[in-house]
Structure 1
């Protein structure tokens, strides 16, 4: 099995093309990447490069605002976890300093009186936008969210094919009230990092699939968990870094993996990235996907399932996500 190799860069155009051989090879390559490190890059996706450039420009415009303007969107002042998060608010790697990043969170923009919001559905609520950036900023965020959601749904269909399932197997999960978070992230220049400092500490993502758009600065690293080595995920113009989260690893009973990664912005430049965290229907019960009942040997991994369980016990996705999310913020409180 591949090891100490950076995640592959794959051309996604074959997914919607007429060349069956090219499509089958793409699915096989994605499937192999999901079983190795759970990371790969996709070029030629359905998200226009012009929209990718627009969202990166919108991100820079937001973080260039004065702090008092950004704080008008303070996420601590609403119960929907939407809005601005100050530098150092989260700690994803235990034992390190708080992460050296600031971020702003968006989701599906639902009004406070929407039935799903009133019912308290997971991650539902209105977005917060800075007045200073006006309607163009809102439109860019909305358009990008929709485009990223459509790509995430395509990626899930590709994963289904790799597992030997019909491409529509995940449809109810990905198309009925899907939960996702769009986050704009800014890493200030940090040419010299102290030993315990990270842009983002080593962690695994929580949900199903993450689509990451990164600028040209670099700094993202994925760990080869068999050797412990850190591998650079070099930015590719127009490409999305795709990685699986803990929910997908659990759902596939570790046939697919969620891998440790971090950001080390050892650069004199600002770094901007745009992760889209796709969770799916948060009310869904994660049980073992058919065909994944046999657990692979994970003894050579840094992270594995409970050894006394043949498969995981079923769990509601929203409960699984909430546990992980709460823990990452509680760490900051312990060191504050």
Structure 2
């Protein structure tokens, strides 16, 4: 496994400006809808430009994240919270703790086994009650490195969450979803993750080591920003070959998650991707992951006829689907 001769994939570059410009026409927004729909049906991944997120905010957050990952390992490990998703984590098979292939810190809102910690308006004594005091399915809570990190991360979230809403609006429009189906797709819980990737040695790559193993994201969509000076993210093309995703300054990479793949009856592709990083400088990425609430049943929507074998789609709640994929411990 090397990246020396890795081909670069040409992904669609979608201008999201019409969704941010109040003077844009319905036809201009429909053109955006169709471009996103086409990309989601092909490889399930595309670049998004003119998205309205200040570049200086992304750049500043990347610097702050890099400062955190530059701390001594024992300092970073103080922010491991004992859960499967939140807090600091690192590659469990890392032999050299001064050069961990992949490490990250993530922040996820409270989640109970049923409804993301929010009690519905029913009698608390009812067996169907879903109380906020229910054990959090994802374990420990947040452990912010410092107030500076938290303030900038929350500011970044405040900008990206509206973008997520508009993206899911566009997807819902092109799928022709009913109000009920639209609500299922758009009812997502956003959480943010920061990852750092150290350079792999030639020997590691020849042994088949990767910074982040090939996988699909379990949620609805992922909005990713990455360093612009190195190609490390890879996706499989339609022929099953790995290709590099070249960073484009000022863009986000958006990809379809497995939940959206199932909602659409396999019409939208949940992108298989991995990270192999061999540049001397460590790579920082930031991702907003939009996941369904835990008690939503993940199955094809009425408007989305199956494109594949029905047996692939065993209905289950997103909570069960998600926890099946999360390792017991980082």
Q: Same fold (TM over 0.5)?
A: yes
Q: TM-score, normalised by structure 2?
A: 0.81
- Residue 261 of structure 1 deviates from its aligned partner by 1.1
Cα deviation 1:180-215 (Å, max 9, x = unaligned):
331110111225223311121111111110111101
Query: How far does residue 150 in structure 1 lie from its aligned partner after superposition?
Result: 2.1
Cα distance 1:315–1:85, how it changes in 2: closer, same or farther (>3 A)? same
Q: Is 1:118 aligned with 2:133?
A: yes
TM-score (norm 1): 0.79
After superposition, the Cα gap between the structure-2 partners of 1:160 and 1:223, relative to the gap in structure 1 and judged at 3 Å, is: same
| CA 123–179 in structure 1, closer or farther in 2 if over 3 Å, else same | farther
* Counterpart pick for 2:216 among 201, 204, 207: 204
CA contact (8 A) 1:122 1:282 kept: no
Query: 1:7 is matched with which residue?
Result: 11
CA distance in 2: counterparts of 1:232 and 1:30, whole angstroms: 20
Deviation at 1:167, TM superposition (A): 8.3
Could you give the per-residue CA deviations for residues 88-127 of structure 1, whole angstroms, max 9, x where no partner exists? Answer: 469xxxxxxxx920111112379xx997652235558631
The change in CA–CA distance for 1:108 and 1:46 in structure 2 (over 3 A counts) is farther
Gaps of 5+ in 1: 91-98, 297-304
CA distance in 2, matches of 1:235, 1:140: 23
Query: CA 1:162–1:206 in structure 2 vs 1: closer, same or farther (change >3 Å)?
Result: same
Query: Quick check: 2:84–2:326 contact (8 Å CA) kept in 1?
Result: no
Deviates further, 147-156 or 120-129 = 120-129
Q: Take 1:289 and 1:121, find their aligned partners in 2: how far apart are those partners? A: 28
After superposition, the C-alpha distances for 1:132-156 in whole angstroms (9 at most, x for unaligned) are xx32111011122232222222211
Contact kept in structure 2, 1:181 and 1:276, CA below 8 Å: yes
8 A Cα contact 1:117 1:124, kept in partner: no
1:121-160 alignment runs, 5 A limit: 122-123=137-138, 126-130=141-145, 134-160=146-172
Secondary structure at the aligned position of 1:65 is classed as coil
Q: Work out which of the residue numbers 34, 54, 60 in structure 2 matches 1:54.
A: 60
Deviation per residue, 1:57-99 (Å, 9 max, x gap): 11101101111211110133xx473211123469xxxxxxxx9
Q: Report SS of the residue matched to 1:85.
A: strand
Is 1:83 the equivalent of 2:93? no
Whole-Å Cα distance in 2 between the matches of residues 105 and 55 of structure 1? 14
The number of residues matched between the two structures is: 297
User: Using the alignment, how far apart are the partners of 1:7 and 1:282 within structure 2?
Assistant: 32
Match of 1:289 among 287, 296, 301: 301
Alpha-carbon distance in 2 for matches of 1:62, 1:168? 42
Alignment of 1:1-336 (within 5 A): 6-17=10-21, 18-76=24-82, 79=83, 81-88=85-92, 100-108=101-109, 118-120=133-135, 122-123=137-138, 126-130=141-145, 134-165=146-177, 170-171=182-183, 174-175=186-187, 178-190=188-200, 192=202, 193-216=205-228, 217-224=230-237, 226-293=238-305, 295-296=306-307, 307=309, 309=311, 312-326=313-327
Measured on the aligned residues, the alpha-carbon RMSD in Å equals: 2.8
Distance in 2 separating the partners of 1:252 and 1:150? 23
Moved over 6 A (4+): 113-116
